[in-house]
Amino acid sequence: MNLFHSLKLQFAPPKIDDPDFGLLRYMYISNHPERSYWECEWLFPKTKTQISIALPGDESGPTKEARSFYLNLTARFEQIVELARPKLEEALVHWIEQPLPKDIF
């Protein structure tokens, strides 16, 4: 990659409008290009909240595996919350001395 292209990636990062994630911006890491990624604020469908995510990829876009991982989280969301609930409860009791509400959202 030539110097001009590398500088352009750093100072004017490419952006794409993704049908699933919205506006993605490429974050090029010049000294480790293999660690470059796409970032965005994604409206998580299950909670309707904005979350920041980073999807590994190259200039052409996020990897298929990264897309699949995030998009499959919605189907597994309830399971993930149930698995995390004991540790969330423990942290809440320890830090603010209150039990975790049944509906945490």
Where exactly are the structural domains of the chain?
3-96
pLDDT at 86 over 80: yes
Between residues 79 and 2, the one the model is more confident about: 79
Instruction: Say yes or no to pLDDT of 70 above 70.
Output: yes
Question: Is the pLDDT reported for residue 12 higher than 90?
Answer: no
Angle, CA 101 vertex, CA 97 and CA 103 arms, to 5°: 160
The mean pLDDT value of the chain amounts to 91
pTM over 0.85: no
Give the long-range contacts of residues 96-100, CB within 8 A, separation 24 or more: none
